[in-house]
């Protein structure tokens, strides 16, 4: 078996490359990353179970046809992330992320290789209490250049599915939990970092009581396994999440380990006034059951950052 993972050294990829070796011992795992996120540590101490190959390259410019040849699936994770920071880098993000996805999806189509494409629940924005994959166009309201590009990439994948690309689009909630190449831009991890170093937790003014979808990294990896086991490359889009939580729920959990945290309410361009829950019935109806736990995820992250006293 052979699997290609783009953006393999990132937060999600650094966990996937390790778990794949357990599900598919002796498989070939081809990892591509341009090191723009500098996660060298993701390559440390890889398990001996699989045959790893690392290619330092930009997915948007490298010739993918030889690399993808005879692959059983491609996991396309390469992207410039950090939604909140994407306002200042809108053009760069659009050009990097869209061109990578275009290149990867076309190479998969040419070689008939199944593709797992990662989108994000940040494509939603609704005044209703709940939203799911069947929502109207008005409820697809990306709140950042990063999320706008995700929606554009989704449309591209859907067009290629019409031309027989085997693909699945996964709208992941914001990841929490630890990995060898983890990053700290996103809400839960950022708050754990700030609490650990004794800084105030910078909470967007509108966000304290708003519900938003989160995904335990363990559930994210379980979702990938589920897709492979069930060959769920049905061209559909699925929300994948562990639960919908408010910042208050998250900070209350952090307080159990670090009681004296301070909260600073800050302005952010990405915020909106809306609170809504994202529903994941469609993926659950396929048989997927999330088992993650926000409390465990936070405790593990704080334990990793055991620098507070």
Applying CB under 6 A, the residues found at the interface with ligand NAD are: 6-7, 9-13, 32-37, 39, 58-60, 77-81, 96, 100, 118, 120, 172, 174-175, 183, 186
Our CB check for ligand NAD shows the closer of 27 and 55 to be 55
Our CB check for ligand NAD shows the closer of 32 and 223 to be 32
**Residue 131 and residue 140 in contact, taking contact as beta carbons nearer than 8 Å:** no
Two tokens at 128?
A: 């209703």
Q: How far is the CB of 214 from ligand NAD (least distance, A)?
A: 8
- As a whole number of angstroms, the distance between CA 274 and CA 209 comes to 10
In the Cβ-directed half-sphere of 131, how many Cα atoms lie within 13 Å?
A: 27
Our CB check for ligand NAD shows the closer of 122 and 164 to be 122
- As a whole number of angstroms, the distance between CA 32 and CA 45 comes to 17
Q: How far is the CB of 309 from ligand NAD (least distance, A)?
A: 29
Q: How far is the CB of 7 from ligand NAD (least distance, A)?
A: 3
Question: In sequence order, which residues have a C-beta less than 8 Å from that of residue 134 and are 6 or more positions away?
Answer: none
- Residue with nearest beta carbon to ligand NAD: 10
Our CB check for ligand NAD shows the closer of 79 and 113 to be 79
Q: At what angle do helices 247-257 and 294-304 cross, to 10 degrees?
A: 50
Query: Cβ-count burial of 96 within 10 angstroms (0-12 exposed, 13-18 middle, 19+ buried)?
Result: buried
Our CB check for ligand NAD shows the closer of 75 and 233 to be 75
Q: How far is the CB of 170 from ligand NAD (least distance, A)?
A: 8
Two tokens at 191?
A: 């708050």
Q: How far is the CB of 56 from ligand NAD (least distance, A)?
A: 9
- As a whole number of angstroms, the distance between CA 230 and CA 226 comes to 6
Q: How far is the CB of 64 from ligand NAD (least distance, A)?
A: 11
Our CB check for ligand NAD shows the closer of 36 and 106 to be 36
């Amino acid at each position: 078996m052979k699997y290609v993972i783009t953006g393999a050294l990132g937060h999600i990829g650094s966990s996937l490359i390790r778990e794949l070796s357990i599900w598919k011992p002796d498989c070939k795992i081809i990892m591509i990353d341009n090191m723009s996120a500098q996660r060298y540590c993701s390559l440390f101490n890889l398990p001996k179970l699989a045959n790893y190959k690392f290619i330092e390259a930009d997915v948007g410019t490298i010739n993918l046809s030889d690399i993808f040849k005879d692959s059983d699936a491609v996991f396309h994770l390469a992207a410039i992330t950090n939604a909140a920071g994407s306002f200042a880098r809108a053009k760069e993000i659009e050009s990097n992320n869209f061109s990578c996805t275009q290149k990867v999806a076309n190479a998969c189509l040419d070689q008939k290789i199944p593709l797992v494409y990662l989108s994000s629940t940040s494509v939603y924005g609704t005044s209703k209490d709940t939203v799911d994959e069947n929502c109207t166009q008005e409820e697809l309201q990306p709140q950042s250049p990063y999320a706008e590009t995700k929606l554009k990439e989704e449309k591209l994948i859907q067009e290629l599915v019409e031309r027989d690309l085997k693909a699945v689009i996964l709208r992941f909630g914001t990841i929490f939990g630890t990995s060898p190449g983890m990053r700290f831009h996103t809400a839960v991890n950022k708050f754990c970092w700030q609490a650990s170093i004794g800084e105030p937790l910078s909470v967007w003014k509108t966000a304290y009581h708003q519900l938003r979808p989160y995904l335990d990294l363990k559930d994210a990896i379980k979702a990938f396994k589920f897709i492979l086991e069930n060959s769920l490359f049905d061209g559909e889009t699925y929300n994948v999440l562990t639960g919908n939580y408010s910042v208050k729920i998250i900070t209350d959990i952090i307080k159990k380990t670090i009681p004296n945290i301070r909260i600073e309410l800050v302005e952010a361009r990405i915020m909106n006034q809306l609170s809504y829950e994202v529903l994941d019935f469609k993926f659950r109806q396929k048989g997927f059951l999330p088992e993650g736990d926000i409390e465990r995820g936070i405790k593990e992250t704080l334990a990793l950052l055991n620098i507070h006293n």
